Amino acid sequence: MQIISNINEIRKIVKKWQKNDETIGLVPTMGALHLGHESLVKKAKTQSSKVIVSIFVNPIQFAPNEDFEKYPRTLEKDSIICQDNNVDVIFAPNANEMYADKNNLTIIVPPKNYQNKLCGLSRNGHFDGVATVVAKLFNIIHPDKAFFGQKDAQQLAIIKKMVLDLNMPVEIVSCPIIRDENGLALSSRNSYLSAEQKIKALSLNKVLQKIKEMYEKNETNHEKVLKRASILLDEAFDMEYLEAYDANTLEKIEKLRNNTLIAIAAKIGNVRLIDNIIL
């Protein structure tokens, strides 16, 4: 396995693979890899002959008051995980390599109606930064497929929309949320939680499972269902949102139905967690 930090070098490797008719799978990450990321890599290995994992803590998707500086950076540990999962190349550029002229940067701005809800309301400019870095990775690596986790459901919908609208020749593969043995959705930010907070954090999934349970009993009034389920959130958490949208278009829905995204965000201390299910 190689670790490459230079754009020209990764392009040379990809061109060589393409000449040999290799199919290329890309797993974009910000590092601090866990079992959720491993699941993406394993899916990529089943669908691609070569797999690249990008590790880059993207500065332009963090607001000034967010955790960019303290976001975990564990390249050595991440490299071991990638090697154990037979990754071919880690692409780990620094910010100067990705943004040579960061003060005059062309930014991709996803549609407002994909951004003006859920995480987009509290993280101004976040999805501009996500779309821009993902577009850059696609242009640098030219993958046949790219693998993203369903946990970041709004991000996933935005990337699919970008690929469709800009005619990018890459297939976006959605991969299911991976949870620990107690049901907590795996996240790099879980490392910020104390043992007690991790137990309290299980209540996010309890809220979602209650909604699923009521829906399966034919309760489709989403306001009623969300209100009843929200009381299961541990009182240590401050609810940011608990909302229902079409999973593909992020449009508001009148009643719960098939392919409804139920998304939750809540904060405990300085740690913000998200989770979701699709009915």
Taking only the tens place, the pLDDT of each residue in 228-274 is 999 999 999 999 999 999 999 999 998 999 999 999 999 999 899 99
DSSP designation for 5: -
Mean pLDDT (the chain, rounded)? 96
Question: CA nearest 65: which of 226, 267, 275?
Answer: 267
Residue owning tokens 């960061």:
102
DSSP designation for 41: H
Least confident piece of the model among 63-67, 217-221, 257-261, 269-273: 63-67
* CATH 3.40.50.620 domain residues, the chain: 2-175
Q: Are strands 171-175 and 145-149 parallel, antiparallel or unpaired?
A: parallel
State yes or no: pLDDT of 102 exceeds 90. no
165-173 mean pLDDT = 98
Per-residue tokens: 230 = 């929200």
The Cα-based distances of 76 to 30, 36, 56, 59, 82 in angstroms read: 13, 18, 13, 20, 10
Task: Yes or no: say if 61 and 35 are a contact pair by the CB < 8 Å rule.
Answer: no
State yes or no: pLDDT of 64 exceeds 90. no
* CATH 3.30.1300.10 domain residues, the chain: 193-272
Q: How far apart are CA 98 and CA 137, in angstroms?
A: 9
63-74 mean pLDDT = 86
222 is catalytic: no
25-53 per-position pLDDT tens digit: 999 999 999 999 999 999 999 999 999 99
Question: CA nearest 241: which of 233, 212, 175?
Answer: 233
Largest CA distance in the chain: 57
Domain 193-272: CATH class, spelled out: alpha beta
Q: Right CATH number for 2-175 from 3.40.50.620, 3.40.50.1110, 3.50.50.60, 3.40.50.1170?
A: 3.40.50.620
**pLDDT in the model for residue 7:** 98
CB atoms within 10 A of CB 132: 22
State yes or no: pLDDT of 180 exceeds 90. yes
65-78 mean pLDDT = 90
